[in-house]
């Protein structure tokens, strides 16, 4: 039986109980894995689920996001990195070190610019961890030819709670922000999400009872919400109206 996920403050990215992930350490580990995979990747390989992007676009994007987030954490406008082309492996590693070193130096309680306004720098520990987690999946999907192959052949080494935290970020931070910014309307359906491997649940939508309940591992739920896996590529169970899940997955709940 799933229980409501532990409360997380979207503005800080921190759980309100005493247990939490070491997101800065997880970020460092994911960056190390990403950098190692970049070293042997073909920059021209297409990235499944990312439109016209090639591996070169993906690596440059994540490097730029790290650099931008470091400026946000310090409350300064970042210095433009130029148009490139770049030597991908060292370029990525340099920006990865910058965000990691910045977040270590400022500490979790420093006031930063965040996607929700001024807030603690811990926000960026969580956001950059998830950004790197999803894009590491993208990078491995590019090498293997599909997102579905990643978990079977080269699974990402993070606790299942990290994937559950990525679900939580979408539900509690991104989806409400997308509505506030006018990028989507309120969901016309209510979908309950149950991460069967951690026993946590969430609800997207304003209804008092769900139109559908989707049960799957946290990994699958996170990558469904980020549009990296299709339902047919996951081991999910839907109770209720399957069409409600289709409505959810058709909505831009993430940027």
Closest CA to 26 of 172, 98, 131: 131
Model confidence at 64, pLDDT cuts 50, 70, 90, reads very high
Q: Which helix (H) or strand (E) holds 202?
A: strand 200-204
Nearest of 93, 99, 85, 97 to residue 56 by alpha carbon: 85
Give the 3-state secondary structure of residue 176.
helix
What are 111's strand-pairing partners?
A: 120
CATH class of 20-158: mainly alpha
Determine how many CB atoms are found less than 10 A away from the CB of residue 222.
Answer: 27
Model's pTM, two decimal places? 0.97
User: Residue 18: is its pLDDT beyond 80?
Assistant: no
Question: What's the N-to-C CA distance of the chain in angstroms?
Answer: 31
Domain covering 165-249, topology: Nonspecific Lipid-transfer Protein; Chain A (3.30.1050)
Reported as a single tens digit per residue, the pLDDT across 73-95 is 999 999 999 988 999 999 999 99
Helix (H, G, I), strand (E, B) or coil at 132: helix
Q: In whole angstroms, give the CA distance from residue 49 to residue 142.
A: 10
Give the containing element (helix H, strand E) for 135.
Answer: helix 122-144
Listed by start position, the domains of the chain span: 20-158, 165-249
> How many other CB atoms are there within 10 angstroms of residue 78's CB atom?
14
pLDDT one-digit tens code per residue, 101-156 = 999 999 999 999 999 999 999 999 999 999 999 999 999 999 999 999 999 999 99
Determine the pLDDT at residue 207. Answer: 86
Give the bridge partners for 4, in sequence order.
201
121-136 pLDDT tens trace: 999 999 999 999 999 9
User: Could you tell me the sign of the dihedral formed by the alpha carbons of 122, 127, 128, 134, in that order?
Assistant: positive
Same fold, 20-158 and 165-249: no
């Amino acid at each position: 039986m799933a229980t409501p996920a532990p409360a997380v403050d979207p503005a800080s990215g921190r759980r309100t109980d005493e247990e939490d992930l070491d997101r800065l350490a997880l970020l460092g580990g994911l960056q190390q894995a990403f950098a190692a995979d970049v070293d042997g990747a073909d920059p021209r390989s297409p990235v499944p689920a990312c439109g016209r992007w090639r591996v070169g676009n993906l690596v440059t994007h994540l490097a730029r996001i790290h650099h931008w987030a470091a400026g946000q954490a310090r409350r300064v406008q970042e210095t433009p990195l130029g148009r490139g082309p770049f030597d991908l492996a060292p370029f990525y590693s340099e920006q990865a070190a910058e965000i990691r070193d910045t977040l270590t130096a400022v500490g979790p309680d420093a006031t930063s610019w965040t996607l929700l306004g001024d807030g603690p720098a811990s926000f960026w520990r969580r956001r950059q961890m998830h950004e790197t987690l999803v894009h590491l999946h993208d990078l491995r999907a590019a090498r293997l030819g599909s997102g579905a192959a990643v978990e079977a052949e080269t699974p990402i080494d993070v606790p299942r709670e990290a994937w559950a935290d990525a679900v939580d970020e979408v539900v509690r931070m991104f989806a409400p922000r997308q509505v506030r910014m006018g990028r989507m309307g309120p969901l016309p359906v209510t979908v309950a999400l149950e991460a069967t491997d951690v026993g946590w649940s969430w609800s997207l939508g304003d209804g008092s009872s769900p139109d559908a309940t989707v049960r799957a591992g946290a990994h699958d739920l996170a990558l469904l919400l980020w549009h990296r896996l299709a339902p047919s590529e996951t081991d999910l169970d839907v109770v209720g109206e399957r069409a409600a899940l289709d409505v959810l997955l058709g909505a831009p709940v993430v940027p």
